[in-house]
Chain A
Amino acid sequence: MSELNRERREMVAVLQRPGVRPDPSLRITRRTFIHRSCLTGAATVAQTFAWWPLLNTIDVAYAAEQPFKFAWVSDTHLYPKSVNMRFVEKVQRAAREVQAMNPPADFLIFGGDLAQLGRTNELELGVEILNEVKIRKVFIPGEHDWYYDMGAKWKQLFDKPNWTFDHKGVRFIGLDTVTRGPDYWTVRKMSPEERMDHMATLDGSVAGPWAGVGRDQLDWVQKTLADWDKARPVVIFSHNPLYEYYPPWNFWVRDWREVNEVLKPYTNVTNIHGHVHQVLYNEIGTMRSIGMLATSWPWPYAPEGVPKLTKPMIRADPGDFYDGVGRSEISMKNDRIENEYIMWGRKEVFVQSAPDSSLSQPEILRPRIADQLGPY
């Protein structure tokens, strides 16, 4: 049995015990659309028609004291304007749209990977564009932001990579899942550019399992939640998903077991994450997890490990740079939180039939080799 399969089995055994799910107050709301497969009674509710994300909404009991909205933008992967204006224009669009939200969002969470290669001018360009957004902005880092100068510029611009605040009855936590990668550069005597290039290659094999929360930060989370009613809503923002989806692309945090241990007492935890550039939904123990779209480009689903609760997004048209990408608006009304994907390229975010899904053609893929052959 491969290591990946062994880990998957362990995750199911540890986290998906019978009867353990997020808060049972989950309800279908008006924003839910009913999928064709349900209307026709089709029982082929396998991965392609998995039933949770037929609802694009989440209910959280005992939630907001007052209704409010917040906005999510992430994975803009900005190059300097001289290299690529396409990505710039999409961030400008996202900023304009967030600022124009009506009713306005209370805050914008930027979920990491503002820059593509972590350069100062890329990060500063991101700040400049997002200055269009006048509401409160909070930031967590992505790996693309960090590994050129080990976060020096990012910290100068945005301060700490993890934080918490309470807003209208909800405890929000920004987690840093990117800065504790194992040191692969010192022994190989890499330059900052080389270190960053390996980190910026999603399917590279040199940077290894860099995504993690870390014991120190988990202790901080535990302390942060110590005074919080265990049934009240907690929303955790992270760049990487807080469970194991596909480790070769760091679609996980390597210490997901410890994360689960810390969050286990809390019955109403919602994790909202970036990095995957795709629609995702999963439930792990008492935590539900939602993957967000990038503004830059969409990624196909990994060849294995897509959560069965995910209703896949459409297969994007590579000729349309606004397809398969976008942002999210999250509303908290009375006792529920609703996520609305704003995908710029089309109205239907989710697949309507199997051929619309990248999962309709199973692939068996090999990891790359060339980055292991040198020059290191």
Chain B
Amino acid sequence: MIQLSYLDYSAVEGKSFLHRLSPTLKIIGMLVVLFVIVTVRSLPGLFLLYVILLILFLMAGIPKKIFSLTLYPLIFVFLFIFLSGVQIFFILLVFLKVLCGSTGVVLLLASTPYPSIFSVLGRVLPSSFVMALFLTYRSVFILLNVLEETQHALYLRGGVQWKHPWRSLINTSNAFGHLIIRGIDASEKMYESMNLRGFKDKIHYRGE
């Protein structure tokens, strides 16, 4: 999740052709990728799509560090392999679908600033939903700072140690509790500052 800030940095600071492309076109492109994933059942077809996405990833100059984010969903897929027994075709099919989907969404997020994505979504989805999405995304960054501070404090004081699992669990849970309380406090302040800036049921994006 720490890579979230890299994603955002890449989306805002990137200068490649993919970054310059209209957000609407990129979202349509993502929908096409999704359509292929849902409908195509041949390994060569999915492999070709994955190669195309990898080429786009390299050409867009997205930081290599972000690439690991596209592999993260594979951890969970292992559980579903047991559904079919060890069928090589099924495993490869599932792996390729996972990789295409995760590479597609990471490409979209690493090349498009999130206000632009939410602005496009706001044209087709209910404003309350897009607002909730925007506030959540914003809150993730606020809480990420709190989480990093708390994590540093915990590690510096030896709060998380494998030798003392129970104490570590208590400290980690207290960190989550701290995160929740700080989050609720921050949400109250956020609402007040939004009101002061003239917030009335809708967030307006730059260019609207």
Partners in one complex: no
